[in-house]
Amino acid sequence: MDWLHRLKRILGSIPRWLGRGWQRTVNGLLNFRRWTLQRRWPDYVVFELTGELQERIPEMPRWYAYLPGLRIPLTLEHLDQALFKIARDPDVKGVIILVKGGKLSMARAQSMRDLFRRFRAWDQEHNQIVDGVGAKEVVVLLEQTSVATYLMASAADRIFFTPLTTWAVLGLRSEQVFLKETLDRVGVQAEVVQIAPWKTAGDNLARSDMSEADREQRTWLLDSLYEQLVEGIAQGRSLEPERVRELIDQAPLLPDEALAAGLIDGILYADQLPERLGRLGREARLLPYAKARRYLLRTPLPGAAKRVGVISLTGAIVSGSSRRFPVPLPLFGQETLGSNTVQQLARAAMEDDRLAAVVVYVDSPGGSALASDIMWRELNMLGRQKPLVVYMGDVAGSGGYYISAPGRKIVAQPATLTGSIGVLALKPVTGEMYRKMAANRVALQRGENADLFSDQHPWRKEQREKVEQSIRRTYHEFKQRVAEGRGIPFEELDPICSGKVWTGAQAREHGLVDELGDFRRAYELACELAELPTDGRVPTVRVRAREHLMARSARSLGLENILRLGEGTSHLVTALAQGDWRSILGQESLWLIADGLPRVE
């Protein structure tokens, strides 16, 4: 039977050999065409950041790219792929990032910094750069600045401002609005039961001022984020950290002041970049990546038989299917992550024999405890079958951490907000509001606690005890998942759990995160665990759940998002009209949610 197995393996590899041969032929022809068009080669490849920089390329039909006036948003995934190709072209001198009001979080700014460093490493390795001679450079032109955009830019080789750009790195600020007294005026009361005072997701509804625990937590978060900001700028601009703190306290600074302080390298308009970057009296040739890519040298890596699957889990966690709403909801935002959807994705990854490992991207503040546990179960089964690496985005807190626990390795950025390992129960009490509106609510029930989650009145003492009992049990299970996943003794968890939120840097110190880095680092770890090459030759593929025929047809027509939006809008309007808040929030009573966390942009 050994000969039969070898024969099957040989026959199975024939399509791969043919594909590689065809790829070499096509690349040879394209490189010959490139050689005939030397005058068009770009000196610098330009990327423009105008909107929100997302992590992953959004799923959409390929023909979207050809629609007039439609611009596919720039993403870190797209930039990583593009800079990898550019770094391998010996004739390109560098890349330019034009920041025109781009929206960037601090965690994604750190991912950009990682990408710049990796771009230089790729260039040095492939083009055999010695002592920096002939090395490619990263240039950033900022039309507007913020904490995050300048943190990103400070890792570049050169930074330019326009004449009216202001260095607006003003520091960090966390602000929370407390609505208890406002709700009292309209007859609404928020009933909150939490596992510990650091589990503060319901405080803005149930309190009229910040608690000491919340103040303590926000202080350590701001301290960590501020230190990351100062150290990042100091390292990138070769300044002393104390000098950076002084400059932040003096901000905003005019362009001349920023130049004198060593924060930037020049002041010019975008159209003056070719002259400034030119050499030997010749202006540099600048091309946007969409045009420049056709002139890049093709140097494909050897192919790989296996792939790394990518599952993106974003939004607040709820039962059912993932949905988007036309307007953000309190606590849950505009996007929800459904347990049914995650279940289908995890099982699709398990059944796909092409996938040697899986990277799960998590960007979620948490949500339903029940849905989080169902997602954990599916991802845990997937992780037992294939190496599973979790990469955390801006926030992976509470339920977001719960579903990350199955990861064999967890990677986060220093500014990622994570932890918040705790549980709470929250219900609005609207009985007084209805009384003020002269609305008579009449209810009939059978069963002593049939009104346990009714919004008509607060919990009775014995009811509150039952809710607290459920919270303690869920918290115990949450900690058990963490102990198993992270290899931390159960009895040592309370000091780092109890609802406490950490930055990624702090989470690594506590053992909740393995490494600090970007998505590419998570990909490399997945390849290492699967004993695959880590040089980029192993392709990544988006894991897709099996879909109903109608859903596939809608996707092919580009109508899926419209259908989902219509479904979400109809559900929301109906629920609001009927006052059915539990229909909007789901039927669960216990929540693993991290809300109102300080975000830096």
How high is the pLDDT of residue 470? 93
Is CATH 3.90.226.10 what the domain over 37-170+251-295 is classified as, yes or no?
A: yes
How high is the pLDDT of residue 130? 79
Which pairs with CB-CB distance under 8 Å and at least 24 residues apart come from 554-563? 555/61, 556/61, 557/61, 558/60, 558/61, 558/63, 558/64, 561/324
Q: Which residues pair with 333 in a beta bridge?
A: 329
The answer to whether the bond into 598 is cis (omega within 30° of 0) is no
Amino acid making up residue 436? K
- What the block records as the tokens of 169 is 């790195």
Angle at 535 between CA 529 and CA 537, to 5 degrees: 95
- What the block records as the tokens of 374 is 């169902």
- Per the listing, tokens 């009001």 go with 101
DSSP 533: -
Are 545 and 348 contacting, i.e. CB atoms less than 8 angstroms apart?
A: yes
Question: Measured between alpha carbons, how far is 215 from 231 in angstroms, rounded to an integer?
Answer: 24
Residues of the chain with pLDDT under 50: 22, 548-569, 572-581, 584, 586
How high is the pLDDT of residue 156? 98
Contacts of 161 (CB under 8 A, 6+ apart): 141, 142, 145, 167, 255, 258, 259, 264, 266, 267
In 3D, which of 368, 329, 569, 583 has the Cα closest to residue 455? Answer: 583
**pTM recorded for the entire structure:** 0.89
- Which strands form 424-429's sheet, in the order they lie side by side? 189-194, 424-429, 590-593, 366-368, 316-318, 333-338, 323-329
Please return the burial class of 362, using the count of CB atoms within 10 Å of its CB with bins 0-12, 13-18 and 19+.
Answer: buried
The three-state secondary structure class of 410 is strand
- What the block records as the tokens of 160 is 């330019």
Are 146 and 450 contacting, i.e. CB atoms less than 8 angstroms apart?
A: no
How high is the pLDDT of residue 129? 81
Are 155 and 113 contacting, i.e. CB atoms less than 8 angstroms apart?
A: yes
DSSP states of 30-94? HHHHHHHTGGG--SEEEEEE-SB-BSSPPP--GGGGGSTT--PPPBHHHHHHHHHHHHT-TT--E
* Helical packing angle, 212-237 and 241-250, nearest 10°: 110
Is CATH 3.90.226.10 what the domain over 307-424+458-592 is classified as, yes or no?
A: yes
Q: Which residues pair with 313 in a beta bridge?
A: 362
Could you tell me the end-to-end alpha-carbon distance of the chain, in angstroms, rounded to an integer? 61
Angle at 357 between CA 355 and CA 358, to 5 degrees: 95
3-state secondary structure 123-179: HHHHHCCCCCCCCCEEEEEECCCCHHHHHHHCCCCEEEECCCCCECCCCCCCCCCCC
Are 282 and 516 contacting, i.e. CB atoms less than 8 angstroms apart?
A: no
Question: Measured between alpha carbons, how far is 567 from 325 in angstroms, rounded to an integer?
Answer: 9
- Per the listing, tokens 């608690």 go with 211
In 3D, which of 385, 306, 387 has the Cα closest to residue 347? Answer: 385
Question: Measured between alpha carbons, how far is 404 from 467 in angstroms, rounded to an integer?
Answer: 26
